[in-house]
Structure 1
Amino acid sequence: MLWRSRLTRTRKLLVVKEERMCRMNSKVAFVLGLLFVSALSVLVCAEEQASDRSLWTLGTVPPDIKTTFTIISWEPIAKFGPRYKYIEQFFKTYYPNVTLKVDYGIDWDDYFTKLSTMIATGNPPDLVWMHDTRVADYAARGALLPLTEYIRKLPPLGWPDDWYEAQIRGYTYEGEIYGIPQDLVTGCIFFNKDLFDAAGVPYPPQWSTDWTFEDMIELARKLTRDTDGDGRIDQWGLAIGTWEPHACYWVVRAFGGDYLTPEGEPNFDNPRTIEAIKFLRDMYHTWKVSYITPSEVDIDRLFMEGKLAMYSKHNERCSIWMGASFNWGVAPEPRGPAGRCQFMGSSCWSIPKGAKNPDLAYEVIRYALSNPDSLKGIVSTLHCLPPRKSLAPFALSPELAAKVPNYTYVFVELAAKDALVPPYFVGYEEFVSLWHRYLDPVFLLGEEDVRGACEQLNAALREVLKSYRR
């Protein structure tokens, strides 16, 4: 029986040993499993990072590059700050050894002088904030790098279908693209609901384009008043900017006119262009519904003080005027004799010729303007629309949606159909000077010979354009 007892103990020991081995093997298997999962996770993460890098980089810039990357902008911190956050994020993620140097908030009047000097002295920044009014001039001087080939190799997400065709055309010069839009503003007629209500006058249409220039002037006449009986008008019916050519371009186009012909020649001798200029003059001096001033600031002040019934402006003002002490709304621009046109404007990112890090600059542009996450964050903090149609809803805060329920209809849907970027041609700055020289007497002083002023402007502009073609 002793052997049976020993055999039983031996079997028990073997069972215990086997159980211990099994437990140990289970632990080993568990640890090995953890190591396998961990290794797999590392591989997956590495693969995702590699995939992410290939999504946002060209593959031509070493990840460990050590350089200083410079950006300049005229925008203040309130507008540039949100963009800086995501640009900084880009460098921390993909190029941690790059030093980012940003000069923002440069005064508008000094900005382009500074940029031109930096380019001329061979020390351009890597990335510049450009305005649609300047791109053609800088491109013609060879001061900007074409982006067309970059776009072909690694296009921005959604390009071109999710972007506004008019904007892309606005940044194209002689077949090359020199800027990628980074924001968007589109036009409307702001109106003071309280003034309309007090006068018992119906609002302009807010959900349709079923009104005309004649309707607009009729409303303006009813709302232009001497409220205190001192013999002077102190409440104005309408303001359409004539202080810059782009501010009233939509009016000229709605009359069937234009600043240039399709062949690029001056078009101020066109009867339809002359008719549009006369309409703008009559707004001041015949119907007397507009406050006469060369300053946009004066008109902004009048509207904020509740002394202006209708104001042709763009969506950027919506957020700015949220704190107004009166009720206001937006309406689409009315139809003119030749149809309806809507203003569109924007800024863009461009790369100066001679930039030390052009490939890196394009990657930054593309990341900042294509990445849905960064764009959502940027758009939600700004007053402008995003350059991509699909992200337009992120520009609409709950407060703004409640205040302007037709925001998307006016600024996005109608703009996609009717908006045009004014022709910012080579020599545009000289054109602005000529505009003031020949048309300020018409708008500000009431000069009656509109045709003569337009013909003089036409001849002078022809000489400017010739000088750039020699």
Structure 2
Amino acid sequence: MSRKFGLSRRDFLRVSSYAAAGAVAIACVPAEAPTVVEEVAEVDLARRAEFTMGTVPMETAGTFVVNGWGPGTVAVQEQHHAWFAEFYPNMEFQPAPEGGWSSYWETVVVLLAAGEHPDAAMIHFTRTAPFADKGFMLPIDDYIDALPPVDWPDDFHFTAVDNIAYKGKQYGFPIDWAPRAVLINRDIMDPILGDWPPPDDWTYQDLLDLAIEATDTSGEDKTYGLATGHWAIRQWNVTRGFGGHFFNEDVTQANMLEPGTIEAFQYTYDILHTHGVSPSAADLELFGGQFAAFASGNIGMWWTLSDETRSAVEAVGDSFRMGIGPEPVGPNGRFGFEGNVGWFIPSGSNFPEIAYEFMRWNLTDPDQARFMAVNGFGGFPGRKSSGIWNVQEIEQFLPNYGHAAWVLGAESEEHFPLFPEGQEWMPIYAQHMDPLMLEGVGSVEEALEGLSADTNELFDNSVRNL
């Protein structure tokens, strides 16, 4: 059986940029007032009532400009051009030239700050609070009241929905919902695990013990028991699992010196350095990163986002037996959700009603919702009922996939805190944690003390606290 899915993970990032309304806008068209032209024939009134609010004439003409990271495939472009052809045939749908993640954020912030707004754009949940706080995003609550997505919000993962909300207002719709999981090389781990699949309640300590037993770096072809990372959002999950926190409840003060927080960071440090069960930063560079190290058969367990599953299945092929286990349980429980992306309407959009209708269609139209789920990148759709299509496809190769990632990943409805200074804080985190976690320089307590002090300084100088 072929292990090539409809689209690779990279392809889906392109697809999702169109589902979120598009590609990186190198430049936006000048603001224009909507115009209305001659009548359009052959209108399916039932579909129009289902997918539009009826506030914008079908004859409206103009250019609909979109933003995202990376363009979609030709097939996806055709789908979205077809949507406009059906509902607003005089509108030109304008995807922009290809661009990547970094260039998107550099470009879109400049455009939004300058008032050169696209009509719809992608958002990563880490940007929700900063963008909303700066007035870049249009609240969509009134549109939801007028024409809600089918089964909104009950049929959507709370964490994904809440990640695109701020101060009681909804600012967008979730494209995906990405819990963490453990991808497993069964050729390495089955003799150690014994029973398959891993138990639902395996713990952080179980994971470490298994990794220690699986690690063998004595020869040229080294085997490491576990690959993981230390970046802020991922470490937050582990910290909550140990009962610690990063911040106080309203995210105005650091709480990084709590015992549970220190224990969580020490746990990650011990994986990366003390026990030698994880490849060093230098080794990972030689492998080409964690993904390549796992796909090449040098990693027993890869603790990562479940949205890596699809591309990992394709890359591994028949080279070894692959499995999946759930996010482990800590002393404080399981905290498996990491993040998601979504789409939003910039506050200066020329066609906000059309933008809302277009984004909602991607969630509500059964054929389109299924297309996005099946051609997703392992990060489940934000809409719960669409997830089964993703599960059915990948479970051809990973029978435990749905239970381990989709079901158990939803146990906790807690997500990384959103706060306006989030983008300024991330480099501060890296400044203190990269030397410790990548190079083994310093101690956990020292790094957390420095991070805590600089975090509090950031909050003290924040405009919201002045």
The TM tier, using the shorter chain, reads 0.7 to 0.9
Q: Of residues 237, 259, 265 in structure 2, which corresponds to 1:277?
A: 265
Q: Deviations over 1:262-282 (max 9, x none)?
A: 121322122211111111111
Name the stretch that deviates more: 437-446 or 412-421: 412-421
TM-superposed CA distance for 1:54, in Å, is: 1.7
Which residue number corresponds to residue 185 of structure 1?
178
> 1:15-164 maps to which residues of 2 (within 5 A)?
49-78=44-73, 83-103=76-96, 105-164=98-157
Q: Deviations over 1:63-117 (max 9, x none)?
A: 1001000112103435xx5653432222111110000101263121111121112
Opposite residue 307 of structure 1, the aligned amino acid is N
Q: Deviations over 1:264-305 (max 9, x none)?
A: 132212221111111111112221211222979521121111
Residue 240 of structure 1 contacts residue 248 of structure 1 at CA under 8 Å; is this kept in 2? no
2:195 and 2:240 map into 1 onto residues whose CA distance is: 21
Q: Of residues 226, 244, 249 in structure 2, which corresponds to 1:262?
A: 249
Structure of larger gyration radius:
1
Residue 345 of structure 1 contacts residue 421 of structure 1 at CA under 8 Å; is this kept in 2? yes
SS in structure 1 of the partner of residue 184 of structure 2: strand
2:89 and 2:160 map into 1 onto residues whose CA distance is: 33
Residue 211 of structure 2 contacts residue 224 of structure 2 at CA under 8 Å; is this kept in 1? yes
Q: Deviations over 1:414-470 (max 9, x none)?
A: 122235432242222222111111112221232453222212111211222231413
SS in structure 2 of the partner of residue 105 of structure 1: coil
1:311 and 1:420 map into 2 onto residues whose CA distance is: 23
TM-superposed CA distance for 1:161, in Å, is: 0.5
> 1:274-423 maps to which residues of 2 (within 5 A)?
274-293=262-281, 298-323=289-314, 324=316, 325-383=319-377, 384-398=379-393, 400-418=394-412, 420-423=414-417
Residue 245 of structure 2 contacts residue 261 of structure 2 at CA under 8 Å; is this kept in 1? yes
Residue 235 of structure 2 contacts residue 265 of structure 2 at CA under 8 Å; is this kept in 1? no
Residue 205 of structure 1 contacts residue 211 of structure 1 at CA under 8 Å; is this kept in 2? no
Q: Of residues 135, 159, 162 in structure 2, which corresponds to 1:166?
A: 159
Q: Of residues 198, 206, 215 in structure 2, which corresponds to 1:215?
A: 206
Structure 1: gaps spanning 5 or more residues: 1-44
TM-superposed CA distance for 1:226, in Å, is: 2.1
Identity of aligned residues (%): 30
Opposite residue 64 of structure 1, the aligned amino acid is E
Residue 235 of structure 1 contacts residue 308 of structure 1 at CA under 8 Å; is this kept in 2? yes
* CA distance 1:434–1:172, change in 2 (3 Å): same
* CA distance 1:53–1:100, change in 2 (3 Å): same
SS in structure 2 of the partner of residue 360 of structure 1: helix
Q: Deviations over 1:377-415 (max 9, x none)?
A: 2222222322111111211354x2221111211222112
Q: Deviations over 1:364-388 (max 9, x none)?
A: 1111122122111222222232211
Residue 212 of structure 1 contacts residue 334 of structure 1 at CA under 8 Å; is this kept in 2? yes
TM-superposed CA distance for 1:60, in Å, is: 1.2
SS in structure 2 of the partner of residue 201 of structure 1: helix
TM-superposed CA distance for 1:145, in Å, is: 0.8
Which structure shows the higher helix fraction? 1
Using structure 1 for the length normalisation, give the TM-score: 0.83
SS in structure 1 of the partner of residue 222 of structure 2: coil
Residue 243 of structure 2 contacts residue 331 of structure 2 at CA under 8 Å; is this kept in 1? yes
Structure 2: gaps spanning 5 or more residues: 1-40
Residue 141 of structure 2 contacts residue 170 of structure 2 at CA under 8 Å; is this kept in 1? yes
2:195 and 2:163 map into 1 onto residues whose CA distance is: 31
Residue 344 of structure 1 contacts residue 415 of structure 1 at CA under 8 Å; is this kept in 2? no
SS in structure 2 of the partner of residue 218 of structure 1: helix
TM-superposed CA distance for 1:360, in Å, is: 0.9
2:238 and 2:410 map into 1 onto residues whose CA distance is: 18
Residue 179 of structure 2 contacts residue 409 of structure 2 at CA under 8 Å; is this kept in 1? yes
Opposite residue 321 of structure 1, the aligned amino acid is A
1:439 and 1:414 map into 2 onto residues whose CA distance is: 29
TM-superposed CA distance for 1:208, in Å, is: 3.8
2:240 and 2:52 map into 1 onto residues whose CA distance is: 42
